[in-house]
Amino acid sequence: MRLRAAGGAARRALGAGLPPLLLVAALLGLWEFYVDSGSDSSFVLPAPHSIAAAMWNNAGLLAANLGPTAEEVGLGIALALLLGFVLAVLIHLSPTLRRAVYPLAVGSQAVPIAVIAPLLVFWWGFGMFPKLVVIVVICFFPVLVTTVDGLAAVDPDQLKLLRTLDASRWQAFRFAELPTALPAALSGARIALAVAVIGAYIAESQTATSGVHAGLGHEINADLTALQTPRAYAAAVVLFGFAIACFHALGLAERRLAPWSARGRGAAR
Amino acid sequence: MATDLKARPAQSLPAVATGGGVHLENVSRTYGEHGGSRVRALEGVYLHSGPGELLAVVGPSGCGKSTLLELICGLQRPDGGSIACAPAALMPQHDLLLPWLSAVDNAALALRIARLPRQQARRRAAALFEQLGLEGFENARPPELSGGMRQRVAFLRTLLSGKPVLCLDEPFGALDAITRGEMQAWLSQTLAREPRTVVLVTHDVEEAILLADRVAILSPRPGRVMEELEVSESRPRARTDASVIALRERALAVLSLGPAPGRGAA
């Protein structure tokens, strides 16, 4: 029975993977055809086959640059989830903190981070920290908003029931509010993850780095300046694949963490 | 007016003070005052239930039956009158099983809240699963259980709170007729094994008479006790017993000839 379920899951995974693969193949075909018909210079728009070649020839370089970017995204998203979640819980528990913190959190999203980012280097140097700050500022907000709403969506009857069982404030949080909010918080995490890659690109573009391999975002900018357009596209493709992989990893985590949610259940079936 | 409020279930009273019984004296409860429209849910309610007794409360919908249970459980405070009762646990109208917990974890919820370690709480709850006809469903999540099973898990959760008084709010209202009959028999057997003081709210007169030692009939809003019927017929009772039929007709007569006919639906 377990085997059959696994076989079914594999078949479904294949079925789910087929439409996007076909779409990507069709788009790549159109792209290749358009470039091969000799419209633009390859500096402006390289053909898919030359991007593929650039990926193959620069595999070592791209891998070396994926390392720092993955580290920034991983650490940045972890910090953003923590910050967003902790702030959401504080806002949920205390109306005073809600009034104090929420406007600042909203305001933080209006800060033109790409303009501020170069200044962060003056404060914190060429290391990873200013880049993490950029990613965290961009990514904590979706987690904060979805978690605050998720916590507020708790069924008041469940809280009432817990009160008749003499639950403490913490136990009401632990048994009702936290599980209610978890699926929403994980949705916020997905949004955060998708923008974290943009955050990493902005961070690498706007904050100088002293190392040799400064990340894929930095590589893209350097290649564009050097008219190595196919390699810039190759780096972008790696970034693209990395974002999709992270998104799916989070989907798997959601299935484990919140199997009762509609999405978690649907995915597990 | 005496307001000897024992409103918080957390304050466990000495057993001698109430003896596990439920005592309501002249209790009133009024809701809201939005634009001068007050809703008087209960007015001048007297109810007494001795330890180990099963008191059924019947009445038209909207007569304040659920309010009555919340008062007994200390979730609300009366505006007037006094309530003295032993700590009470509520089994709400909808089972309110937590969807993120398995059946056994839901049943063990009160034990976990009492800070029993998780495995120990589970073992104690699982030990009762067989008695309740739930064996094999320990790890099922609530959506995988039938309506009758969910009610049994919710009842087990209430029972395991260890409180001497159980407040059951329309426990079988959402079930089909056949399952309801089975569940009524099951509740009688379970209470014979695990005696508690029970306040059972229902709109089903027959259910009240089949299960209860006494039946209190509430008037339409504002609810007050119009009549109390003793049910002396020995258990198990059948709906075809002459005394059950007689009591049912009596109760229905009281309900339809209440002090304010036509004001029942709310």
Say what the pLDDT of residue A182 is. 93
Report how far residue B235's alpha carbon sits from residue B132's, in angstroms, rounded to the nearest whole number: 20
Say what the pLDDT of residue B11 is. 38
Say what the pLDDT of residue B108 is. 93
Q: What is the pLDDT of residues A218-256, one digit of tens each?
A: 888 888 888 888 889 999 999 989 988 988 888 888 888
Report how far residue B216's alpha carbon sits from residue A3's, in angstroms, rounded to the nearest whole number: 57
Report how far residue B205's alpha carbon sits from residue B118's, in angstroms, rounded to the nearest whole number: 40
Say what the pLDDT of residue B15 is. 37
Contact B9, B114 (CB under 8 A): no
Q: How many residues does chain A have?
A: 269
Interface A-B: count of C-beta contacts within 8 A: 50
Report how far residue A15's alpha carbon sits from residue A13's, in angstroms, rounded to the nearest whole number: 5
Which residue type does A156 have?
Answer: P
Q: Which pLDDT band, with edges at 50, 70 and 90, does A212 fall under?
A: low
Gyration radius of chain A over CA positions: 22
**A164 with B89: Cβ contact below 8 A:** yes
* Mean residue pLDDT across chain B: 82
Q: Which pLDDT band, with edges at 50, 70 and 90, does B201 fall under?
A: very high
Query: Average pLDDT for residues A32-60, to the nearest whole number?
Result: 83
Does any CB of chain B come closer than 8 Å to the CB of residue A170? no
Answer yes or no: is pLDDT of B86 > 80.
yes
Cα B21 from chain centre: 14
Cα B210 from chain centre: 15
Which residue type does A140 have?
Answer: F
Which residue type does B21 have?
Answer: G
Of B9 and A201, the one with more pLDDT? A201
Contact A77, A228 (CB under 8 A): no
Q: How many CA atoms lie within 13 A of B50 on its CB side?
A: 3
Does any CB of chain B come closer than 8 Å to the CB of residue A160? yes
Q: Indicate the domain borders of chain A.
A: 1-39, 52-268
B70, B109, B141 ranked by CB distance to A165: nearest: B109
**B75 with A157: Cβ contact below 8 A:** no
Answer yes or no: is pLDDT of B265 > 60.
no
Report how far residue A258's alpha carbon sits from residue A251's, in angstroms, rounded to the nearest whole number: 10
The closest of B198, B192, B193, B184 to B51, measured between CA atoms, is: B198
Does any CB of chain A come closer than 8 Å to the CB of residue B266? no
* Mean residue pLDDT across chain A: 85
Say what the pLDDT of residue B154 is. 92
Asked if the bond preceding A48 is cis, omega within 30° of 0, the reply is no
Contact B239, B185 (CB under 8 A): no
Answer yes or no: is pLDDT of A5 > 80.
no
Domain A52-268, second-level architecture: Orthogonal Bundle (1.10)
Answer yes or no: is pLDDT of B126 > 60.
yes
Report how far residue B55's alpha carbon sits from residue B211's, in angstroms, rounded to the nearest whole number: 9
**B100 with A155: Cβ contact below 8 A:** no
What is the strand order of the sheet B165-169 is part of?
B88-91, B165-169, B197-202, B54-58, B214-218, B225-230
**A158 with B98: Cβ contact below 8 A:** yes
A164, A171, A258 ranked by CB distance to B75: nearest: A164
What would the two tokens of residue B147 be? 């309506």
What would the two tokens of residue B103 be? 């059946």
Q: Which pLDDT band, with edges at 50, 70 and 90, does B102 fall under?
A: very high
Q: What percent of chain B has pLDDT over 90?
A: 23
Q: Indicate the domain borders of chain B.
A: 19-97+145-256
- B-interface mutation test, from A161, A168, A175, most B Cβ less than 10 A away: A161
**A175 with B98: Cβ contact below 8 A:** yes
Q: What is the pLDDT of residues B11-40, one digit of tens each?
A: 333 333 445 788 898 888 888 765 567 788
* Backbone phi, psi, residue B177, to 5°: -60, -40
Report helix, strand or coil for B228: strand
The closest of B258, B218, B259, B210 to B234, measured between CA atoms, is: B210
- A-interface mutation test, from B72, B75, B98, B168, most A Cβ less than 10 A away: B98
Contact A52, A28 (CB under 8 A): no
Q: What percent of chain B has pLDDT over 70?
A: 88
Q: How far is CA A82 from CA A70, A128, A144, in A?
A: 18, 18, 10
Query: Average pLDDT for residues A203-212, to the nearest whole number?
Result: 74
Q: Within a 10 A sphere around the Cβ of B53, how many other Cβ atoms?
A: 18
Instruction: Please report where in the chains the tokens 């426990």 appear, as a residue.
Output: B171
Say what the pLDDT of residue A77 is. 93
Does any CB of chain B come closer than 8 Å to the CB of residue A155? yes
Q: How many residues does chain B have?
A: 266
Report how far residue A141's alpha carbon sits from residue A108's, in angstroms, rounded to the nearest whole number: 9
Q: Which pLDDT band, with edges at 50, 70 and 90, does B262 fall under?
A: very low
Does any CB of chain A come closer than 8 Å to the CB of residue B159? no
Strands B214-218, B54-58: pairing kind:
parallel
Say what the pLDDT of residue A213 is. 72
Cα A32 from chain centre: 30
Answer yes or no: is pLDDT of B10 > 90.
no
Answer yes or no: is pLDDT of B264 > 50.
no
Answer yes or no: is pLDDT of B222 > 90.
no
Query: Which range has the top average pLDDT, A45-49, B105-109, B147-151?
Result: B105-109
A79-88, A212-221, B159-168: range with lowest mean pLDDT: A212-221
Say what the pLDDT of residue B34 is. 58
Query: Average pLDDT for residues A6-20, to the nearest whole number?
Result: 72
**B109 with A258: Cβ contact below 8 A:** no
Of A212 and A106, the one with more pLDDT? A106
Domain B19-97+145-256 has CATH 1.10.3720.10: no
Instruction: Please report where in the chains the tokens 């890659």 appear, as a residue.
Output: A197
